[in-house]
Amino acid sequence: MRLRPVIVTLLLLPALTVACGKLQGEFALRRYNDDVYRKVSGPFECAADEEVQWSYVFSKVTKRSDIAVIVQKKEIGWVESRSNLDYIDIEKKVIHGTVKSFEPGEYQIIILHVEKKNEVLGRLKFFVYEEGNAGR
């Protein structure tokens, strides 16, 4: 009977290892008058003439990984607006970007793990409105 707990533990160990090894992180924003970045979990809004700096901070990084950053605009479907490749490693756990000079509309920032067949690590929607039209 003592063998059963050992077998169950051995069966669950790979599943726990895979879940713990996945890259995870959080978005944060800094606006013009902000001194620090503030965590954000839902959509945000900004004016077309406003500059908003964003960061995606990874909670645990154990090795170098290539990261793709894609910004899409919603048209009839989602259309790629901007994209770039970056990396993270033990010393560099943050990806940065800027929302600036976007036309009014609905957008999303997508963070992808390149080595894991472009697995989506994070997604943040935002809305850009014309100057003077706050709240759309």
CATH homologous superfamily of domain 23-129? Macroglobulin (MG2) domain (2.60.40.1930)
Q: What single letter denotes the amino acid at residue 38?
A: R
Q: Which two three-digit tokens encode residue 83?
A: 């994209």
Domain residue limits, the chain:
23-129
State the SS3 of 82-103: EEEEEEECCCCCEEEEEECCCC
Q: What is the pLDDT of residues 57-97, one digit of tens each?
A: 999 999 999 999 999 999 999 999 999 999 999 999 999 99
pLDDT score at 21: 66
Percent of the chain with pLDDT over 90: 76
